[in-house]
């Protein structure tokens, strides 16, 4: 194992995934949670998940499940968890008050060289890290669920984050097999969610305007755009659809702008349209108890196969 420990704060869904990703990279992991039983449950769950991943040939890293599990230890005392920490990944619920409290506690106990990183999906680094003694070591590393199969991590600095903190976090994410991107500055929603919300809002308007059904709009993504987007971004897609990006803009720019002018206002995200989409997305038997669970398991299986395919390409 590597020197020093990675400390995971909060052993819920995302904390468990981070723990598995870091141990797959050979790092010692300390898993801390305010609820003692959560840590025990998390360790048990991780053991089960790793065993299943081994069976399906999807376990990451070169160590076997026993070796990976032996790298993880549970903690219910924050101060001792932080001893010898090189990197801290916070994964407590998405609540600013709670994050402020945990960061001020970490700030008191942590050494001066450890990186303090948050998994937040949408809280700003400014709000979370302002005034901390170790603010230059603080950063957001926003994962995508499930991080074990979806490697993107958005790195978002606080205005006072030192460049070396960004570089060290970037290198660490690469080392454990994730795909980091650097935001040069914070912006509400970071980048993944801004792009996602653009797509959701146009999908909403198309359904609202009676152009297409909710099920069919999803097929446009999964059987159309999404096929490319698993490998290429929208910019390179355009680049390849002409003789380079500038050529694409020359050829299609006027048409794109004409269509964009017809985009409507921000959707209400409530009322009749929300109900219509919701109803369409449940299977015929709305009372089938485990349909979301089954569908999520199917999604994760698809993602794991896609991750494997992408590695082979």
Binding residues for ligand NAD, rule: CB under 6 A, are 9-15, 33-35, 38, 91-94, 98, 102, 119-121, 142-143, 145
What H or E segment, with its residue span, contains residue 90?
strand 85-90
Helix (H, G, I), strand (E, B) or coil at 75: strand
State which residue, 77 or 209, has the beta carbon closest to ligand NAD: 77
To ligand NAD, the closest distance from the beta carbon of 16 in angstroms equals: 8
State which residue, 16 or 136, has the beta carbon closest to ligand NAD: 16
Q: Which residues contact 205 (CB under 8 A, 6 or more apart)?
A: 263, 264, 267
To ligand NAD, the closest distance from the beta carbon of 55 in angstroms equals: 25
**CA 193 to the chain's CA centroid:** 10
State which residue, 31 or 166, has the beta carbon closest to ligand NAD: 31
State which residue, 65 or 147, has the beta carbon closest to ligand NAD: 147
To ligand NAD, the closest distance from the beta carbon of 37 in angstroms equals: 9
State which residue, 11 or 23, has the beta carbon closest to ligand NAD: 11
Radius of gyration of the chain (CA): 22
Position of minimal CB gap to ligand NAD? 12
Give which of 142, 130, 192, 134 is closest to 169, Cα–Cα: 142
Q: Which two tokens stand for residue 20?
A: 């598995």
To ligand NAD, the closest distance from the beta carbon of 306 in angstroms equals: 18
To ligand NAD, the closest distance from the beta carbon of 28 in angstroms equals: 19
Strand-pair partners of 182: 155
Cα–Cα–Cα angle for 239, 243, 183, rounded to 5 degrees: 25
């Amino acid at each position: 194992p590597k020197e020093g420990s990675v400390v995971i704060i909060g052993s819920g869904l995302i904390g468990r995934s981070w723990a598995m990703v870091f141990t797959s990279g050979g790092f010692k992991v300390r898993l801390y949670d305010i609820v003692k039983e959560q840590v025990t449950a998390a360790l048990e769950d991780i053991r089960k998940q790793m065993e299943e991943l081994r069976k399906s040939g999807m376990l990451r890293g070169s160590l076997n499940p026993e070796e990976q599990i032996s790298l993880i230890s549970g903690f219910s005392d924050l101060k001792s968890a932080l001893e010898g920490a090189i990197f801290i990944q916070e994964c407590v619920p998405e609540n600013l008050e709670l994050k402020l409290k945990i960061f001020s506690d970490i700030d008191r106990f942590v050494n001066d060289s450890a990186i303090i990183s948050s998994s937040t999906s949408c809280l700003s680094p400014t709000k979370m890290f302002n005034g901390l003694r170790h603010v230059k070591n603080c950063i957001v590393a926003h994962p995508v669920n499930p991080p074990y199969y979806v490697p993107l991590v958005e790195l978002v600095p606080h205005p006072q984050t030192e460049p070396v903190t960004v570089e060290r976090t970037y290198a660490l994410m690469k080392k454990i097999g994730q795909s980091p991107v650097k935001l040069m500055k914070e912006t509400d929603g970071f980048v993944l969610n801004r792009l996602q919300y653009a797509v959701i809002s146009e999908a909403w308007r198309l359904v609202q305007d009676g152009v297409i059904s909710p099920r069919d709009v999803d097929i446009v993504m999964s059987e159309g755009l999404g096929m490319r987007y698993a490998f290429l971004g929208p910019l390179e897609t355009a680049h390849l659809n002409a003789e380079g990006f500038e050529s694409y803009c020359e050829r299609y720019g006027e048409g794109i702008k004409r269509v964009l002018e017809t985009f409507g206002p921000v959707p209400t995200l409530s009322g009749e349209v929300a109900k219509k989409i919701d109803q369409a997305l449940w299977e015929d038997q709305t009372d089938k108890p485990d349909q979301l669970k089954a569908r999520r398991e199917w999604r994760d299986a698809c993602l794991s196969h896609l991750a494997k395919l992408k590695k082979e390409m």
